[in-house]
Amino acid sequence: MMLALPEPLAGMSRRLARAVPFRPFRLDLPQPVVSFSFDDFPLSAAENAAPVLEAYGARGTFYFADQLADRHENGQLIAGRAVTADLAERGHEIGGHTSSHINVQRVAPDCLIADASANTSAIAALSGQAPSSFAYPFGVVSINAKRLLAHRYAGLRGIQPGINRGWIDLAHLHAQELYDVSLPLLRVELLLDDLQRRGGWMIFYTHDVRTQPSSIGCSPAHFAAVVELVTQRGIAIETVANVLYRAGVSMPGWRRIG
């Protein structure tokens, strides 16, 4: 069942949802850290980004909506179950992204829970463990979704830009888009300057990783250059799950990934 609010109300609800912390948490990390995450996620991200991270001894976080597997989304072929299982086997984190990639603001509570549970089961079946973190599809956050999902994952990521530091909301982690069209290396340098000066946790997210990427993707060359910059500065790269774990976020059934 779809629940559609008139757009002015829906917009207000999203703004309120972003502003109200559901799981306030004091993030206290001794060193700055960066995570790389991939939403949906296209096969190209698995093929072109995972090996780059591995070459630096690092791992990424791949947000998997199981019903998109082997299908096309935004013109991109989405990775299938075998590829996803292989990534997990190699130590990458497979995060939750709902089963059918639903807009959490437009679905009834029981449907959202059923969909998220199906996604958790699918991920557990192929990776051997339930997802520790979650990314809101389309970056849409609602009060209801936060209330329903906040305690099902150690951390939930949106697309609101910013470095996570000090008091954060585990039900809405901030993230920085990593797209060729909007984040040139000079801007990455400035963000990393800030990260190193003031500490915290920067989560990058992108979608496809291929030459001539989509407007919400990243080229392999750009991706490699950003990973290189982070590494040159001595900043650690860790999965979202591992940063949460190291920060002391407690979750039942928690296991370290990667």
CB-side exposure of 138: number of CA atoms within 13 Å? 12
Look up residue 10 and give its two tokens: 């829906």
Q: Which of residues 3-42 bind Zn ion (CB under 5 A)?
A: 39-40
Q: Which of residues 184-243 bind Zn ion (CB under 5 A)?
A: none
66 sits near Zn ion (criterion: CB under 5 A) = no
* Smallest distance from Zn ion to CB 196, Å: 30
* Smallest distance from Zn ion to CB 187, Å: 23
* Smallest distance from Zn ion to CB 256, Å: 25
- C-alpha 49/C-alpha 235 separation (Å) is 18
> For residues 96 and 137, which CB has a smaller minimum distance to Zn ion in the complex?
137
* Smallest distance from Zn ion to CB 137, Å: 5
Is 82 within 8 Å of 70 (Cβ atoms)? no
Interior angle at CA 121, CA 133 and CA 80, nearest 5: 85
> For residues 138 and 254, which CB has a smaller minimum distance to Zn ion in the complex?
138
* Smallest distance from Zn ion to CB 97, Å: 6
DSSP summary character for residue 121 = H
Query: What is the amino acid identity at position 214?
Result: S
User: In this structure, how many other beta carbons lie within 10 angstroms of the beta carbon of residue 22?
Assistant: 18
> For residues 39 and 208, which CB has a smaller minimum distance to Zn ion in the complex?
39
Residue nearest to Zn ion as judged by C-beta position: 39
Q: Which of residues 118-147 bind Zn ion (CB under 5 A)?
A: 137
Look up residue 130 and give its two tokens: 């339930």
Residues forming contacts to Zn ion in the complex (CB under 5 A) are: 39-40, 137
